[in-house]
């Protein structure tokens, strides 16, 4: 029997809303924490990849752009990219970078570090991003976390889009840190 | 007595390399794939018709379409 449309088939729209809102007001970057916590909650408490399978806006967006709109070369992902060593290595690197964002936030909160209104792309290129934040609206550390977290989210989106263009629509999913982490948790639990 | 068989196409997943990304689940028009306990993909029961859509979309190419002989 052919499957019907579900509400979650439109979740890709959330990715566009999230990146657009945060582009103009960086505080919205905090909403990305949902994409961090939900997959972990489903994996830890439910022992499933429910998030990846139904609720991931990013995965759906890649499938839409790369599959439906044919923006992908559709070439199978090279084996090293989905090898355990690369997947777990990238996950550890990504978590370390997330730890770095938390650290920067803590330094700003404690007055030991300077607030930086920058988005860092690919963990290297600092892009001034002044339009997205007006000082004084929220404590500096709240905004600092937003800039750091948005940097991670935007970098991973760009990596995913590049992988989509060169390989398969959802090549990003083969080494996505959240996907690796949740599969690891499920394997451990089951 | 004759042993009648029919040939049936169906998707087969290499569970060892599957990264459980759920792409096959998302693209299958017949809801014939599941991500078993969040660990790897596998076809559900008799629903798979072997259309190959999941095979074409799997990012790591760990699905193949096999022909199986079945008793009727
Ligand atoms: S692997 Fe990552 S990008 Fe892909 S569906 Fe899961 S969480 Fe989303
Ligand atoms: S698309 Fe491929 S890697 Fe992803 S869950 Fe299905 S079989 Fe596994
Ligand atoms: S071969 Fe076709 S019917 Fe079978 S699981 Fe893949 S997409 Fe679904």
- Say yes or no to pLDDT of B46 above 70: yes
CB within 8 Å: A174 and B31: no
CB A95 within 8 A of CB A184: no
Residues near A99 by beta carbon (within 8 Å), at least 6 away in sequence:
none
The DSSP H or E segment spanning A182 is helix A177-189
Reply yes or no on whether the pLDDT at B4 is more than 80: no
pLDDT tops 70 at residue B23: yes
Share of chain A above pLDDT 90, in %: 90
Q: What does the mean pLDDT of chain A come to?
A: 95
B64 DSSP β-pair partners: B12
| pLDDT at site A137 | 83
Q: What is the ipTM of this complex?
A: 0.90
A44 Cα to the center of ligand 2, angstroms: 21
> Does B1 score more than 70 pLDDT?
no
The per-residue pLDDT for A4 is 81
Domain count, chain B: 1
Interface test with B, best of A10, A49, A68, A185 (most B CBs within 10 A): A49
Average of per-residue pLDDT across A139-156: 97
A82 chain-B contacts, CB cut-off 8 A = 17, 19, 59-60
Confidence category of residue A179, pLDDT binned at 50, 70, 90 = very high
A189 pLDDT above the threshold of 70: yes
**Which residue's alpha carbon is at the smallest distance from atom 4 of ligand 1?**
A173
- Are the beta carbons of A122 and A155 closer than 8 angstroms? yes
Q: Mind listing the pLDDT tens digit for each residue in A5-16?
A: 899 999 999 999
Whether residue B58 has its Cβ less than 6 Å from ligand 3 = no
Residue A40 pLDDT class (50, 70, 90 cuts): very high
Nearest chain B alpha carbon to A43 = B38
Q: Are A177 and B14 in contact (CB under 8 A)?
A: no
Convert the pLDDT of each residue in A164-173 to its tens digit. Answer: 999 999 999 9
CB A108 within 8 A of CB A75: no
pLDDT at A35 over 90: yes
Nearest to B19 by CA among A90, A140, A162, A16: A90
pLDDT reading at B2 higher than 80: no
User: Where residue B25 sits, what CATH number does that domain have?
Assistant: 3.30.70.20
pLDDT at A41: 97
B62 pocket-lining for ligand 2 (C-beta < 6 Å): yes
| A1 vs A181: CA distance, rounded Å | 33
pLDDT at position B72 is 67
Q: What is the pLDDT of residues A41-91, one digit of tens each?
A: 999 999 999 999 999 999 999 999 999 999 999 999 999 999 999 999 999
- Give the domain range for residue B9: 5-71
């Amino acid at each position: 029997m052919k499957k019907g449309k579900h509400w979650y088939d439109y979740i890709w729209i959330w990715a566009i809303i999230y990146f657009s809102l945060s582009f103009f007001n960086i505080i919205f970057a905090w909403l990305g924490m949902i994409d961090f916590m939900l997959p972990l909650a489903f994996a830890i408490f439910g022992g499933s990849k429910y998030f990846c399978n139904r609720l991931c806006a990013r995965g759906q967006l890649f499938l839409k752009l790369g599959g439906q709109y044919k923006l992908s070369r559709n070439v199978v992902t090279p084996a090293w990219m989905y090898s355990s060593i690369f997947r777990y290595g990238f996950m550890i690197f990504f978590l370390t970078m997330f730890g770095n964002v938390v650290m920067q936030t803590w330094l700003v909160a404690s007055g030991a570090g300077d607030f930086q209104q920058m988005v860092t792309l690919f963990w290297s290129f600092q892009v001034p991003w002044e339009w997205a934040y007006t000082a004084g609206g929220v404590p500096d550390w709240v905004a600092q976390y937003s800039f750091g977290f948005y940097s991670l989210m935007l970098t991973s989106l760009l990596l995913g889009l590049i992988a989509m263009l060169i390989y398969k629509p959802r090549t990003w999913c083969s080494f996505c840190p959240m996907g690796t982490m949740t599969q690891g948790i499920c394997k451990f639990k089951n | 007595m004759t042993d009648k068989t029919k040939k049936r196409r169906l998707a087969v997943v290499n569970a060892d390399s599957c990264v459980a990304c759920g792409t096959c689940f998302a693209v299958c028009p017949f809801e014939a794939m599941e991500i078993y306990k969040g660990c790897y993909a596998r076809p559900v029961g008799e629903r798979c018709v072997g259309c190959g859509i999941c095979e074409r979309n799997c990012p790591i190419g760990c699905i193949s379409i096999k022909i199986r002989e079945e008793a009727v």
